[in-house]
Chain A
């Protein structure tokens, strides 16, 4: 009998995760560790279910921030990369600013943003700032990576700037752009969480990071773990979704998306 290759591929990682959870559960139970020191995975799951109304409402808030920030970062990063590819002096002029924003830790910028902006906007800007740069950098690299001979060919046939951009530079840049979006997606979540942590209780609608702080004050450790687990799941989901989008768009032609034996 032939086993599905998908099962073989994912079996090792699933086994590792299962083993880790099992070991964790065993240590807590056998060692009689109290839940406020370390809750067992089963208790975290129970807490997740019993507190689902609050926690999932917070998850939605955090995800909204993340995806709004990612969307703005994609649109903004792409537009700026296109401008960079058309006018090199613009790249030289603006890149230092972008790099400075990128290398300054977001957690250090967040309190300042909270001084000037409403909490919701400040959190959004935090998420945007960290997601923006990898998308910009990758898109700029991609737009400059078109095959030189194809560039010559377009010139030979009198292609306009616009035609070269649309039919050559953008498609050639697509794998790079998608790579940037995939990194940016994960970073947007991190930025949103960092922003929420800095904002604390000042927001009207509160995200998952605030739930963690709140549970920490109450020494509700199982709930902290439950919120943390949700953040992890959200991060994994974002990565999987963006990878799927990338695969779907590139599967016909790009090396990265080709099946083995093809």
Chain B
């Protein structure tokens, strides 16, 4: 694939404690797509994301990065908002710009822009503790977008939020994706979320972490709250669930719940 931003070639990741986080993973993130890694906890989906970000090195195989090796081309959103509690919201969003030495005037303008994108333009002066969990996550997304990354990585960003907030942020994310034309790689353990957001899903299984199925979602699938009850949406969900269940059933019973030595 020549439009891949990042590709994995037979990538394995072995942690020092002996856990095989990933084994023989081939994967490509294509420009413009919304790729979701869907799987149970322990399937190495977060590890895959960290390898993509360059926060960790593969133990075997190769991670090919076509994106320029410049900080800021990749944005990262963690499971927690991960804001600096001592800094105001606008200072938090400013951080990547400051670290990349973007001129102050331009940086200030960018901060205002991305805060407006996530609907928090009025909260720049607030401290993180003064905001709700959902708002904090929006700040985290705004910060990740501040340097206009070509690729946005999101590690279960909405897992800790209530369902109502989560649905709203799902819609916001789709809107942002359309407006900014960024590529997104997303990690979740929610089948419904993965189908709702993605153009492509990689279903993963644990012990060892691997990809068991690829599901391509019809781009024409409507993405609005009504669509969550539509037949085609439910079909995709069923398929993803079956893939997850199938991978779990393959395991010998004693392996369930026990750690890889």
Contact = CB atoms under 8 A, between A and B. Distances in A.
Interface of A: 147, 149-150, 152-159, 163, 167-168, 171-172, 174, 252-254, 258
Given A150-B84, A152-B76, A171-B86, 16 more contacts: A149-B78, A149-B80, A152-B55, A152-B78, A153-B95, A154-B99, A155-B55, A156-B54, A156-B74, A158-B72, A163-B99, A167-B98, A171-B87, A253-B128, A253-B129, A254-B85
A168 B86 CA distance: 10
Interface residues of B, number: 23
Contact of B82 (A147, A155, A167, A174): A147
A157 B99 contact: yes
Given A152-B55, A155-B55, A253 B86 contact: yes
A149 B78 CA distance: 7
A33 B100 CA distance: 76
Contacts of A157: 71-72, 95-96, 99-100, 147
Contact of B76 (A153, A163, A172): A153
Interface in B176-229: none
27 contacts: A149-B78, A149-B82, A150-B82, A153-B76, A153-B82, A153-B95, A156-B53, A156-B54, A156-B76, A157-B95, A157-B96, A157-B99, A157-B100, A158-B99, A159-B99, A163-B99, A167-B95, A167-B98, A168-B84, A171-B86, A172-B86, A174-B86, A253-B86, A253-B127, A253-B128, A254-B85, A254-B86
Nearest to B85: A253
Contacts of A155: 55
Nearest to B143: A153
Interface of B: 53-55, 71-72, 74, 76, 78, 80, 82, 84-87, 95-96, 98-100, 127-129, 147
B153 to A, nearest CB: 9
Contacts of B127: 252-253
B55 A156 contact: yes
Nearest to A249: B86
B82 A156 contact: no
